[in-house]
């Protein structure tokens, strides 16, 4: 099977600082993959490099097409949605306006209303609050809105940066359940960066571990979860 996303020998730089040191990995279509690693390992930078938001070298191919030289906007147009850490909803707009804005680059306008309804099925709390300003939602609700807004692009691949950040454990579980459903039912391939390794490994089918800008381990999530080094370093037992 050819991979949907193929990343080879990725190096990324912030000025003189090199953050990624020849990172390679692949995502199969339909997979739900987690990228685990400690603070500063380079997880966020990996997602930023895929979206061309940081200077990088190496090869990134999406559905057989190279992404190098493409603007962030064009990467989005190819079907890759990025949900950065910190959510980034439009705080003075309502929930529904945020969802409509998520679809702004789409050409198939006629399905937008149905897709907003689909988001309300996934996230009923957003339906209850559809006229509320995004900035007044709770942290968990804002994270749900950020995911829903990204899905309004109808992406083929969604990149999520620490969706659990700052959320209560029960809310994280709910959110992860919905991500699993979106992956299975809506056929969105998902790459999720997480510090909450335990939950991420329960959710994902594939996992990569990143240390100082390099992949040091890869495999199916169950294998990785039972690896002794991973248990000690990331799961705490
Ligand atoms: P965290 O889990 O803490 O978010 P991370 O694995 O996502 O960490 P990155 O944010 O990708 O790690 O950072 C990788 C490295 O790049 C770190 O050493 C960090 O200090 C450095 N770095 C990140 N952003 C910048 C920046 N804007 N300028 C300089 N160095 C940066």
ipTM of this predicted structure: 0.94
pLDDT tens-digit series, residues 81-119 = 999 987 678 899 999 999 999 998 888 888 999 999 999
Residue 11 Cα to ligand 1 midpoint, Å, equals 13
Q: Is the dihedral of CA 62, 63, 64, 70 positive or negative?
A: negative
| Cα–Cα distance measured from residue 147 to residue 143, given in angstroms and rounded to the nearest whole number | 6
pLDDT, residue 136, reads 95
With cut-offs at 50, 70 and 90, classify the pLDDT of residue 229: confident
Substitution candidate for ligand 1 out of 10, 21, 37, 44 with most atoms within 8 A of CB: 44
* Pairing mode, strands 157-161 and 80-83: parallel
| pLDDT given for residue 88 in this prediction | 76
The residue whose C-alpha atom lies closest to atom 14 belonging to ligand 1 is: 42
User: What superfamily does domain 3-87+155-235 belong to in CATH?
Assistant: P-loop containing nucleotide triphosphate hydrolases (3.40.50.300)
Report the pLDDT averaged over residues 28-54.
95
Question: Where in the chain are the domains?
Answer: 3-87+155-235
* pLDDT tens track for 113-165: 999 999 999 999 999 999 999 999 998 899 999 999 999 999 999 999 999 98
Residues touching ligand 1 (Cβ under 6 Å) are 14, 17, 19, 37, 39-45, 195
- Pairing of the two strands 17-27 and 5-14: antiparallel
CA distance 195 to 39: 8
């Amino acid at each position: 099977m050819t991979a949907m996303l193929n990343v080879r020998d990725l190096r990324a730089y912030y000025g003189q600082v090199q953050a990624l040191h020849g990172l390679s990995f692949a995502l199969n279509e339909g997979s739900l993959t987690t990228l685990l690693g400690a603070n500063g390992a380079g997880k966020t930078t990996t997602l930023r490099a895929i979206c061309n938001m940081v200077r990088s070298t190496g090869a990134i191919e999406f559905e057989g097409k190279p992404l190098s030289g493409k603007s962030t906007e064009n990467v989005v147009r190819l079907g890759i949605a990025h949900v950065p850490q910190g959510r980034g909803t439009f705080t003075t707009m309502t929930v529904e306006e945020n969802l409509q804005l998520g679809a702004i680059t789409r050409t198939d306008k006629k399905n937008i209303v149905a897709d907003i309804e689909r988001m309300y099925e996934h996230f009923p709390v957003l339906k209850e609050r559809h006229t509320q300003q995004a900035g007044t939602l709770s942290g968990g609700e804002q994270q749900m809105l950020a995911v829903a807004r990204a899905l309004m692009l109808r992406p083929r691949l969604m990149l999520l940066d620490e969706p659990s950040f700052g959320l209560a454990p029960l809310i994280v579980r709910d959110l992860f359940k919905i991500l699993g459903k979106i992956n299975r039912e809506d056929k969105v391939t998902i790459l999720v960066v997480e510090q909450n390794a335990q939950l991420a490994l329960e959710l994902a089918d594939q996992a990569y571990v990143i240390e100082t800008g390099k992949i040091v381990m890869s495999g199916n999530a169950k294998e990785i979860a039972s690896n002794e080094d991973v248990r000690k370093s990331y799961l705490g037992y």
